[in-house]
């Protein structure tokens, strides 16, 4: 005899509790702050959408949002193709496999603030490998004073840190392609480009979706590395969204505006990620 | 279109093979003639696929040469050899439509759009996949995908040969039969050499004019289905072809001639002479179940009791356990209307269908049987 009841909900309950404490309750707190002006627990005023209207008109948000989008776009435009190229050129068997896997994993194991410190030193024109080399080639490079140089350094640092992730994801995707596909392509006299375009790329689609979303979200929320490297400067050249938010929330203790900012920030990430996801999967259902 | 010749071809997956056991393919010479329909038949792991991949160039043989029309192609890639191969499991290009899949090998050769379209439609019609032409390949069923895979092999009309590596494994039985007929038709229409790898003797004999039976990395016999049935050159062929396979009895040479478990058997003198010349090897008598006769006890040298009767619908397989010291089981295949004897029965092997083997290899038989 099968019995039909709602007992299975008890099995799902732990997840609900966990998600409630880890995500829903903290987020509701932020929502709470974003619609009220709170001085202390007993002194608070409901302000409706005022914080939102103020923050949306704030030029600081506009500037760092534009900076943020350009930055994330550059990160994806460099790291995704580069990661695919690295994955394609990695050995498929032999001793080279563990060697290249370990080599690629190394940057991923370095903590974010250490990455910032490393590049702070490498970029120095007196003792840093990168800064000294550029300067001795006759290029006037100084990431601490030149906004363009600071930008490039932050970008190169991210490429150094995270291209491995894309490469490793793509490599695992490539490894899952059975040999017989390559054999069939040789029999069909396909060119190298055709093998990439019609066998490798379609099989990489799913891992690329993950790679693009991870790299977009991470780069859109980047904080530690530029904070350590440039402190957001020179001026505000490398002040990205999360740093603007931190200054507002912790520097100026402007919690209402910061809460509204956070929610808008969150919705932007959600929206862009959804757009990526939909764009990359909508072809699946077509026959 | 080409004749494919194998010269002293051998292959080992080990770097330095030290004995015959290290070879996936043992040294062989063989010819596939232009325009023939051949089957390569053998159990799993006998080297069939290895041989096929060497012919197509996916694998470079460690020894010997592959010749197309007398020219060595050892150093040529599959692309340069211009050969088609269909694999066991479907390989389709997911993002392309069925039409694009079929056109792909031709587009890679740079053929004109009109010619490609005409060829694709011809092959799609032959394989009955015309309605699918505009569908995306990734949404097809396994059957349909395999048809597309086969189509990509058939679409090129200038290939040296088309190789099939157990192409119907994933296809359901009814369609299997139809596709085999289709392949046969296509073979007759385009007159292209086809080599078809399978482990199913029925599949081999319905498709091929001549069958090469492989066993432990060697082609042990190459012949028509009838030759394989009537004169197996190797005990493995006797055992593998036929349903059930050949009965094999260990025999010995005695003072009076050929003996089995102490019973003298009537064997032509010519055979006995040959057996005597090569004494020392393992001697076996082989007889197909179709030719075993169950007779009255008084009319036979060997006797036994019926162990088991399997009724297969159109025939019966009768297991008779002989009452000799080693008590082997002899299988006899009887017609549906034949009566199965009860109790002790005589077992008779007609002389014309007795085959003798020394160390698994056939000893010459009287020519009139060939």
User: In chain A, what residues touch B105 (CB-CB under 8 Å)?
Assistant: 187-189
Record: fold of B4-232 = Rossmann fold (3.40.50)
> Do A38 and A94 reside in the same domain of the chain?
no
Q: Is the pLDDT of residue A171 over 90?
A: yes
Contact B58 A199 (CB under 8 A): no
* Domain edges within chain B: 4-232, 243-369
- Residue pair B238/B355 in contact (Cβ under 8 Å)? The answer is yes
Calculated CA dihedral for residues A6, A7, A8, A13, nearest 10 degrees: 110
Contact B152 A188 (CB under 8 A): yes
Contact A186 B78 (CB under 8 A): yes
SS3 of B250, please? strand
Segments in chain B forming alpha helices (H): 48-56, 78-81, 98-108, 113-126, 142-154, 173-190, 201-207, 225-230, 235-240, 269-277
Is A160 inside a domain boundary? yes
A94 interfaces chain B, CB cutoff of 8 Å: no
Q: Report the distance separating Cα B94 and Cα B88, nearest Å.
A: 17
Global ipTM: 0.80
Q: Report the distance separating Cα A122 and Cα A116, nearest Å.
A: 10
> Do A118 and A197 reside in the same domain of the chain?
yes
Query: Which of these, B154, B163, B158, lies nearest to B126 by C-alpha position?
Result: B154
Residue pointed to by tokens 């929320």 = A221
B152 interfaces chain A, CB cutoff of 8 Å: yes
SS3 of B8, please? strand
Per the prediction, chain A carries an average pLDDT of: 87
CATH superfamily label, B243-369: Nucleic acid-binding proteins (2.40.50.140)
Nearest to B79 among A180, A189, A287 (CB): A189
Res. A184 pLDDT band, cuts 50 70 90: very high
Is A16 inside a domain boundary? no
Query: Which of these, B164, B150, B248, lies nearest to B199 by C-alpha position?
Result: B164
pLDDT tens digits along B171-225: 888 888 888 888 888 888 878 899 999 988 888 988 899 999 999 888 999 999 9
> Do A127 and A113 reside in the same domain of the chain?
yes
The DSSP call for residue B323 is -
- Which of A184, A193, A282 would best serve as a mutation to test chain B binding (most B beta carbons within 10 A)? A184
C-alpha pair distances (Å), A227 with each of A161, A246, B341? 15, 11, 97
A176 interfaces chain B, CB cutoff of 8 Å: no
Cα angle A107-A112-A113, degrees, rounded to a multiple of 5:
125
Beta bridge partners of B303: B346
Q: Report the distance separating Cα B59 and Cα B83, nearest Å.
A: 13
The side-by-side arrangement of strands in the sheet containing B4-12 is B23-32, B4-12, B63-68, B71-72
What's the burial of B350, exposed, middle or buried (CB within 10 Å: 0-12/13-18/19+)?
exposed
Domain coverage including residue A246: 24-57+242-280
Query: What pLDDT sits at residue A163?
Result: 95
| A202 min Cα distance to partner chain B (Å) | 7
> Do A151 and A187 reside in the same domain of the chain?
yes
Q: Report the distance separating Cα B167 and Cα B153, nearest Å.
A: 11
Return the structure tokens found at B237.
């062929």
- Which of B87, B89, B153 would best serve as a mutation to test chain A binding (most A beta carbons within 10 A)? B87
| A139 min Cα distance to partner chain B (Å) | 47
Query: What pLDDT sits at residue B214?
Result: 92
Res. A244 pLDDT band, cuts 50 70 90: confident
Contact B105 A189 (CB under 8 A): yes
Instruction: Find the CATH number of the domain harbouring A181.
Output: 1.10.3720.10
Q: Is the pLDDT of residue A101 over 90?
A: yes
Q: How many domains does chain A have?
A: 2
Nearest to A194 among B78, B108, B153 (CB): B108
> Do A265 and A174 reside in the same domain of the chain?
no
Q: Report the distance separating Cα B100 and Cα A202, nearest Å.
A: 15
Bond into A234 cis (ω within 30): yes
Is A285 inside a domain boundary? no
Q: Helices (H) and strands (E) in chain B — how many of each?
A: 10, 22
Query: What pLDDT sits at residue A284?
Result: 58
Q: Report the distance separating Cα B25 and Cα B118, nearest Å.
A: 41
Helix axes B142-154, B98-108, angle to 10 degrees: 20
Is A5 inside a domain boundary? no
Contact A187 B78 (CB under 8 A): yes
User: In chain A, what residues touch B89 (CB-CB under 8 Å)?
Assistant: 180
* β-pair type (B162-165, B84-86): parallel
Is A135 inside a domain boundary? yes
Is A128 inside a domain boundary? yes
Q: Report the distance separating Cα A272 and Cα A120, nearest Å.
A: 31
pLDDT tens digits along A114-165: 988 888 888 888 888 888 888 888 888 888 888 888 888 889 999 999 999 9
Answer whether B4-232 and B243-369 agree in fold.
Answer: no
Query: What pLDDT sits at residue B369?
Result: 43
Residue in chain B lying closest to A283 (CA): B95
Query: What pLDDT sits at residue B366?
Result: 47
Provide mean pLDDT across the span A75-87. Answer: 95
> Do A115 and A231 reside in the same domain of the chain?
yes
Q: Report the distance separating Cα A174 and Cα A168, nearest Å.
A: 10
User: In chain A, what residues touch B79 (CB-CB under 8 Å)?
Assistant: 186, 189
Q: Report the distance separating Cα B345 and Cα B332, nearest Å.
A: 12
> Do A160 and A263 reside in the same domain of the chain?
no
Q: List chain B residues with pLDDT less than 50.
A: 366-370
Is A17 inside a domain boundary? no
Res. A1 pLDDT band, cuts 50 70 90: low
> Do A122 and A227 reside in the same domain of the chain?
yes
Is A140 inside a domain boundary? yes
> Do A127 and A253 reside in the same domain of the chain?
no
Query: What pLDDT sits at residue A287?
Result: 41
- Residue pair B267/B354 in contact (Cβ under 8 Å)? The answer is yes
pLDDT tens digits along A53-65: 888 888 888 888 8
> Do A182 and A271 reside in the same domain of the chain?
no
Residue in chain B lying closest to A181 (CA): B91
């Amino acid at each position: 005899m099968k019995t039909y009841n709602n007992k299975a909900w008890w099995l799902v309950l732990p997840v609900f509790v966990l998600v409630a404490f880890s995500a829903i309750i903290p987020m509701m707190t932020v929502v709470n702050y974003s619609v009220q002006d709170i001085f202390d627990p007993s002194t608070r005023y409901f302000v409706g959408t005022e914080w939102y209207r103020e923050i949306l008109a704030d030029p600081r948000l506009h500037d760092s949002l534009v900076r943020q989008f350009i930055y994330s776009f550059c990160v994806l435009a460099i790291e995704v193709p580069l990661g695919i190229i690295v994955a394609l050129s990695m050995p498929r068997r032999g001793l080279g496999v563990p060697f290249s896997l370990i080599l690629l994993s190394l940057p991923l194991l370095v903590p974010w603030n250490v990455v910032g410190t490393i590049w702070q030193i490498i970029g120095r024109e007196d003792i840093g490998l990168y800064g000294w080399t550029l300067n001795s080639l006759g290029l006037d490079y100084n990431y601490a004073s030149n906004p363009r140089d600071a930008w490039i350094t932050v970008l190169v640092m991210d490429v150094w840190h995270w291209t491995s992730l894309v490469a490793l994801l793509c490599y695992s995707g490539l490894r899952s392609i059975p040999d017989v596909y390559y054999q069939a392509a040789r029999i069909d006299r396909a060119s190298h480009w055709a093998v990439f375009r019609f066998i490798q790329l379609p099989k990489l689609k799913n891992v690329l979706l993950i790679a693009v979303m991870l790299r977009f979200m991470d780069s859109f929320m980047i904080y530690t590395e530029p904070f350590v490297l440039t402190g957001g400067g020179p001026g505000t050249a490398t002040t990205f969204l999360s740093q603007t938010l931190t200054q507002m929330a912790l520097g100026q203790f402007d919690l209402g505006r910061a809460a509204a900012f956070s929610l808008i920030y969150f919705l932007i990430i959600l929206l862009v990620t959804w757009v990526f996801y939909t764009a990359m999967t909508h072809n699946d259902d077509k026959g | 279109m080409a004749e494919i010749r194998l010269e002293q071809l051998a292959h080992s997956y080990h770097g330095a093979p030290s004995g015959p056991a290290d070879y996936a393919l043992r040294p062989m010479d063989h010819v596939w003639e232009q325009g023939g329909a051949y089957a390569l038949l053998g159990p799993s792991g006998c080297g069939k696929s290895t041989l096929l991949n060497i012919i197509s160039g996916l694998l470079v043989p460690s020894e010997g040469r592959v010749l197309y029309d007398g020219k060595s192609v050892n150093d040529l890639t599959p692309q340069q050899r211009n050969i088609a191969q269909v694999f066991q499991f479907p390989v389709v290009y997911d993002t392309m439509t069925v039409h694009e899949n079929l056109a792909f090998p031709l587009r890679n050769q740079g053929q004109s759009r009109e010619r490609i379209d005409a060829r694709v439609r011809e092959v799609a019609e032959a394989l009955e996949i015309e309605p699918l032409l505009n569908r995306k390949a990734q949404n097809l069923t396994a059957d349909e995908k395999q048809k597309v895979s086969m189509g990509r092999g058939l679409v090129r009309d200038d290939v040296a040969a088309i190789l099939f590596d157990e192409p119907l494994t994933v296809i359901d039985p009814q369609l299997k039969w139809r596709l085999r007929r289709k392949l046969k038709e296509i073979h007759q229409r385009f007159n292209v050499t086809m080599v078809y790898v399978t482990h199913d003797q029925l599949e081999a004999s319905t498709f091929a004019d001549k069958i090469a039976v492989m066993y432990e990395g060697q082609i042990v016999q190459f012949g028509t289905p009838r030759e394989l049935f009537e004169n197996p050159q190797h005990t493995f062929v006797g055992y593998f072809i036929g349903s059930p396979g050949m009965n094999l009895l260990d025999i010995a040479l005695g003072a009076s001639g050929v003996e089995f478990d102490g019973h003298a058997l009537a064997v032509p003198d010519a055979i006995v002479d040959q057996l005597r010349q090569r004494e020392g090897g393992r001697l076996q008598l082989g007889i197909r179940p179709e030719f075993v006769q169950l007779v009255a006890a008084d009319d036979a040298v060997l006797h036994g009791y019926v162990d088991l009767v399997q009724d297969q619908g159109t025939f019966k397989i009768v297991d008779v356990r002989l009452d000799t010291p080693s008590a082997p089981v002899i299988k006899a295949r009887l017609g549906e209307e034949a009566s199965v004897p009860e109790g002790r029965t005589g077992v008779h092997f007609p002389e014309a269908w007795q085959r003798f083997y020394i160390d698994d290899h056939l000893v010459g038989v009287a020519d009139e049987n060939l």
